[in-house]
Structure 1
């Protein structure tokens, strides 16, 4: 068993944004081709607690050298007030020959960066008729900082960031960190969510919201809204938008905004396409200048496998990690 801890995983991923986006793109395309297996995620919830959860995401990814495994990821929003990350995770990769677990990875960085890569890939694939020069970010935590990092990698003309968080101090801290990382960025902190939504035609929502709280009426026509946290928009806003998803079956469940829209209409006709289908078409996609486009990624387990396998291969090439020779029973390898 190869064990890769947080520092080793991050040493591989730091500065590898384009490689991660490429791995995520391939996973989306393979999923659209039917070369993945992605069972529904299993949500472990707790009595009298509607915020905390732990989720299992098993998956198979049919690359040239296929990968299988599972991510076990927790979301405890109360951690933030204690100075801890909201999410923590581990990923296990299994042998496709024997099924035995082969690699155990600290998964929080993999999970965050595949989420960011997915958002950045959508931002570059669902292009605007004019260059994307600014982004509004609602929710000033780890995920949106990773999203900003990946957006900077794929959208070189991005130079303005508008921030909003219910905790203005978090928004200001986020802004200071971003300014330190990218001194040329122009950073504004909005006083209201509505002001942030209106500021730019590229918007990313990465909050801990559990119920819809935002309408789309403040967004500019032609805006692309990266709905990473999935539960911010009202069902009415979803139904009035052009909707791109990663997988309709996955995203229309667990009380997401799209699930609520499906319950309201009794169908999924409001979903236009999946990102994988758009990528496979090979045709440039230019979003509607007159309407809001919403990208809602549930977060498929095959994306985690794609990034975890990238980390496994690079770490092995560098000689990183700890090998436990006797982790498995006698006869296991």
Structure 2
């Protein structure tokens, strides 16, 4: 068994097109016998704002990987100078059950999250060949920064401008050198929302704040899941989810729409349908696309398996004796 952390992941390299390709491959296997992922339980104790989530999965196809992600989210950690999220993944041999690798890596969590957004983005771009994009990101933590890195890698010169906003403020020096010339720090979330073609929420907001409909044709990557007041998105038709059972619970924006306005599973398009079955073709190009990814264990296991294989190739990580 080998142990890998953030440093190992960085040394092995962040190849966004390959990470998105892994997500697309796993998405093709969803709702088939080639994937198994039980509904994930939430462990809560003490402060109700804190949670630890267990995410087991098996992925077949060309990957043949299984394991579990165990991720803790403690929002108050920021006041202690600690990361909000702590991510551990264990991979097992699908033939014997023997443990193969253990990851302690918040970076891996950010990579999976942004790679799923990247898969949705690339699908959305198919109907907009050659068109430049302005992006807006609200929330400048690890997830927001990973999304900017992903956008730059996938869009290259098509990423015309990016607007950033964080309620806690943003140090201009925290913006990477390779994008600094095309980034503006906004003073209000509305500035990013109203001017972005691709709008990404990466916050830990305790209260919903987006209270107006999006501009026509916008891709809304609702990563943090709890930023939109229901009336602001109630008229949207192109609602995309990774898994309805997962996302229509835990006080998400999808659950709020379901309870307040009757949004149901049959009204939503799955990520698999969007990527592999042209699921968005039924909507006009100016219809905003509202993507709500609760986070699927199959994607985490698929991406962790990719890094496990790279680690074996490069003799990376720390070997652990049984």
TM-score by length of 2: 0.91
Whether 1:222 aligns to 2:220 is no
Corresponding residue number in structure 2 for 1:138: 138
In 1, the alpha carbon distance for the partners of 2:182 and 2:284 equals: 27
> What is the Cα deviation at residue 191 of structure 1?
1.7
Contact kept, 8 Å, 2:63 with 2:302, in 1: the verdict is no
Out of 276, 285, 289, the position equivalent to 1:293 is 289
> What is the Cα deviation at residue 100 of structure 1?
2.5
Unaligned runs of 5+ in 1: 328-333
In 2, the alpha carbon distance for the partners of 1:40 and 1:4 equals: 27
Contact kept, 8 Å, 2:51 with 2:72, in 1: the verdict is yes
> What is the Cα deviation at residue 226 of structure 1?
0.3
Which aligned pairs between 1:32-181 and structure 2 lie closer than 5 A?
32-47=31-46, 49-127=47-125, 129=128, 131-156=131-156, 157-168=158-169, 171=170, 173=171, 175-181=172-178
Contact kept, 8 Å, 1:43 with 1:55, in 2: the verdict is yes
In 1, the alpha carbon distance for the partners of 2:281 and 2:155 equals: 16
Corresponding residue number in structure 1 for 2:209: 213
Contact kept, 8 Å, 2:136 with 2:199, in 1: the verdict is yes
Q: Deviations over 1:240-276 (max 9, x none)?
A: 2120111111111111110111122445157431121
> What is the Cα deviation at residue 111 of structure 1?
1.1
In 2, the alpha carbon distance for the partners of 1:108 and 1:91 equals: 10
The 3 A distance-change label for structure 1 pair 268 and 283 is: closer
TM-score by length of 1: 0.88
Out of 211, 230, 238, the position equivalent to 1:235 is 230
Q: Deviations over 1:41-76 (max 9, x none)?
A: 1111123x2322111111111122411100011112
The 3 A distance-change label for structure 1 pair 38 and 98 is: same
In 1, the alpha carbon distance for the partners of 2:219 and 2:135 equals: 10
The 3 A distance-change label for structure 1 pair 262 and 283 is: closer
Q: Deviations over 1:127-148 (max 9, x none)?
A: 3547242101111111011011
Local SS of the residue matching 2:159: coil
When the two chains are superposed, the root-mean-square deviation of aligned CA atoms in Å is 2.1
Unaligned runs of 5+ in 2: none
**Deviating runs (4+, > 6 A) in structure 1?**
none
Local SS of the residue matching 2:268: strand
Question: What is the total number of aligned residue pairs between the two structures?
Answer: 318
Local SS of the residue matching 2:149: helix
Deviates more, 1:278-287 or 1:74-83: 278-287
